Amino acid sequence: MKPRRVRNAWGWEFIAPALLLVTLFVIVPCFWGIGLSFTQFDGIAPANFVGIENYARLKDDPLILSTLVNTAFYVLLTLPTGLVLSLAIAMALHQKWFRGRSWVRAIYFLPNVTSLAAVAFVWEWLLNPEYGLINAGLRGLGFKALGWLSDPTLAMPTVAAVSVWHGVGFSVLIYLAGLRSIPEEVHEAARIDGASSWQCFRNVTWPLLTPTTMFLTIMGVIGGFQVFQSVYIMTGGGPLDRTRVYLYYLWQSAFQNLDFGYASAMSVLLFGIVMTLTILQRRYYNRRLQTWQ
């Protein structure tokens, strides 16, 4: 057997290309962005060091709080809806009597492998108040056409619904993997003890799916706070700033206002928020796991 040092050298050689790419395109830009947050930089003139001035601007900017509220509202709309819908679909597909499961899984996963930009353009056309197919169907049924993307009360739920439709296939596959990892003997023992289908789900299936739900919840929160493409294409932050989410405002600060230093400070704040929420979620789910164990 080769010495441990030689085996480790082989391992480093295998991961070196990927490590180089991650360093160049992830780690270095992260630290460069943090450094840029302490400067005033318009992308043309040399950057000027301004200390914590950009961070001081964050607490005085009313759009920071409003865009964070809009983003949190988007997460609250998409995350629970996506989890419940994907779990229900996964539970149905997991049943032995369900035929054509492979085809249904492919159909649900197909939107997820489609570009979100393309999906947003298609849904923007479908939801058009004048010639969109959805409003045409409503008119055909005798209902009034709705301004799905122009009504301040409907715009954010509509964008959230499109996002759920686009991403539910991924969650379904993850839940299916979690359901298949649960030994069938556990359910059989519960049924022998007289547990109903609901009791089996509540006391056996759902607790054992906690690691799966934790993964999907954490990824859902991270993805929710990074929403940009659908808002940019479908609403442009309107109407009345109801869909102006945090990342869209960050993009406006950087590429419309050419205030890259302030946008970098916004990205650092976003990182802190997402990291804090991730830690809190991990602690919550770890406590649940310890309770059930």
> Could you tell me if residue 37 is inside a domain?
no
Residue at 149: amino acid letter:
L
pLDDT at 1 > cutoff 60: no
Q: In this predicted structure, what is the pLDDT of residue 191? A: 86
Q: What is the average per-residue pLDDT within 122-145?
A: 90
From residue 198, how far is each of 85, 147, 178, 203 by CA, in Å?
Answer: 17, 40, 18, 8
> Could you tell me if residue 279 is inside a domain?
yes
User: Mean pLDDT of all residues in the chain?
Assistant: 90
Provide the pLDDT confidence category of residue 4 given band limits of 50, 70 and 90. Answer: low
Q: In this predicted structure, what is the pLDDT of residue 130? A: 86
Provide the pLDDT confidence category of residue 61 given band limits of 50, 70 and 90. Answer: very high
Q: What is the average per-residue pLDDT within 15-37?
A: 93
> Could you tell me if residue 152 is inside a domain?
yes
| pLDDT tens digits along 161-201 | 999 999 999 999 999 999 999 888 888 888 888 888 888 88
> Could you tell me if residue 184 is inside a domain?
yes
Q: Is 188 exposed, middle or buried (0-12, 13-18, 19+ CB in 10 A)?
A: exposed
> Could you tell me if residue 232 is inside a domain?
yes
Q: What is the CATH number of the domain that holds 177?
A: 1.10.3720.10
Q: What is the average per-residue pLDDT within 134-160?
A: 93
Q: In this predicted structure, what is the pLDDT of residue 211? A: 92
Q: In this predicted structure, what is the pLDDT of residue 217? A: 96
Q: In this predicted structure, what is the pLDDT of residue 184? A: 85
Q: In this predicted structure, what is the pLDDT of residue 14? A: 86
Instruction: Look up residue 23 and give its DSSP letter.
Output: I
Tell me which residue of 173, 142, 276 sits closest to 218, measured CA to CA.
276
Q: What is the average per-residue pLDDT within 105-116?
A: 82
Residue at 142: amino acid letter:
G
Q: What is the average per-residue pLDDT within 282-291?
A: 86
> Could you tell me if residue 4 is inside a domain?
no
> Could you tell me if residue 262 is inside a domain?
yes
| pLDDT tens digits along 233-268 | 999 999 999 999 999 999 999 999 999 999 999 999
Tokens describing residue 194: 């007289």
pLDDT at 5 > cutoff 70: no
Q: In this predicted structure, what is the pLDDT of residue 288? A: 83
Containing 208, the helix (H) or strand (E) segment is: helix 206-208
Number of domains in the chain: 1
pLDDT at 226 > cutoff 70: yes
> Which residues form the domain of 253?
62-292
> Could you tell me if residue 81 is inside a domain?
yes
Our CA angle for 204, 80, 218, nearest 5°, is: 80
Contact 227, 245 (CB under 8 A): yes
